[in-house]
Amino acid sequence: MRCVNVDWLEVYAFEDNSRFPMNAEYFRGKGYVVSERDYGTRVYAEIFTVENKHGEPFVEVRRAPMSGDSSFTGLSELSCHLRLVNRACYSNSPVRDLAEFMIEHGYIFQRIFRIDVCYDFRVFDSGDDPARFLRRYIENKYSKVNQCRVRVIGDDAWASFDWESVAWGAPSSMVGTKMYNKTKELKATGLKKPWIVQSWFASGLIDDPLNLPDVWRIEFSLHSSARNWIVIEDADAKRSRKRAIPHRLDLFDSRDKLWQRFEELAHHYFQFRHVEYVGQANSESERKLKRKDVCREKRLFDFNKDREFYKIDGLPRIDYSNDRVNGLLHQLIKYREHHPDMDLRKACDIVIDYMERRELSKLTKTGTADEINQIRLAIATRTNWDYQTVLEKAEEIHRLIKDKEIW
């Protein structure tokens, strides 16, 4: 059995306007036990944790932006962050648990702010020992494909180094990758997370929770810039783009889906090659490295490569210097993400889609009649709204453009 879990789940959402403010007193009024913190963060004034029906910490809520409604921060007074506490991440269905909590209380999902997908194991599918693999990687026997920025932690054991953790990717990267000795980390903190050990036992990874072997973890942290998964298919041994789907919670709401996401992330972010050299040389300093793409793959996992694969993708990269329309498109996307009015968000979606297809490429900031007609046409042909609603939403988007609120 594969021991794959979510280790962090945090979403950005809007509170239900009809229930605002959804503070600690709101949840106490619903019968929940709530623990409040005496201090907030630089962004949110209030932080509290809501317990589940078993009396265990469940969801941490951060709400009440310090800035209130602000075009500078992009936050609304309804903005909030919801994070599953670590224990809740190891339930049988953590993603569904959070989704049902949001539905029950009317939260409006905006995006996944961060999700960590982790795989715990004792030996690679290839038979490689994780500690030996890590040591050989650091000794430059293998080289990683993608993510060249590396941070390594270990102990100087006099005769050798005992490496226990390596992380790839910059702090600002869309995806962070990490491999480390999870048993050693848990023991160093006094085994304060018994639910992780329980997940190992339940999956058959360990036989005795009181006598822990070395269990290693590979962890992918997907940050807020992740927006879509590109569906690709294997056609004649070549990967070809098929379609894009949003980065949303239902992609992670079962163990099978979690393992699929892990496979796809590992396929791109945990791929290694043997370090190989060209021909013969009289000395090591004269040896010439082969190009990485022609070196042999270091196989670690047995993945099913015949199915559809998803590849995580981020925000569109836009060249402002060459295309003012793309600048407007980028700002529309940002504005849409932070606006609580669902009808206006839908109108923005339509205009974004229209612009992405280049049908609105003549849109400028001059305030001409053609501009407003283009926006009305884009909305009218893609909704079943009545004529008056079409006019109102088109006028609102046009006003925002003219006032430079979304330019």
At residue 95, φ and ψ (nearest 5 deg) are -65, -45
Buried-exposed string 275-287: b where 16+ CB fall within 10 A, e elsewhere: beeeeeeeeeeee
Q: What is the DSSP letter of 19?
A: G
Closest Cα to residue 186, out of 215, 157, 221? 215
Residues 6+ apart with CB under 8 A from 170: 149
Give me the residues paired with residue 228 across strands: 246, 313
Q: Rounded to two decimals, what is the model's pTM?
A: 0.76
CA distance 138 to 142: 8
pLDDT at 246: 85
User: Please, what are the domains in the chain?
Assistant: 3-115 (3.30.160), 118-313 (no CATH), 324-402 (no CATH)
DSSP codes of every residue in 250-287: GGGSSHHHHHHHHHHHHHHHSEEEE--EES--SSGGG-
Kindly tell me if the per-residue pLDDT of 368 is higher than 70: no
Q: What is the DSSP letter of 129?
A: -
Give the tens place of pLDDT for each residue, 313-327.
876 544 444 456 666
The sign one gets for the Cα dihedral 396, 332, 109, 11 is negative
Kindly tell me if the per-residue pLDDT of 269 is higher than 60: yes
Give the tens place of pLDDT for each residue, 273-330.
999 888 765 556 667 888 888 899 999 999 876 777 788 887 654 444 445 666 677 6
pLDDT at 332: 76
The residue-averaged pLDDT of 206-212 equals 92
pLDDT at 286: 66
Task: Please say whether the beta carbons of 382 and 375 come within 8 A.
Answer: no
* Beta sheet of 238-246, edge-to-edge order: 238-246, 226-235, 309-314
Q: Strand, coil or helix: what is 392?
A: helix
Residues 6+ apart with CB under 8 A from 268: 146, 311, 312
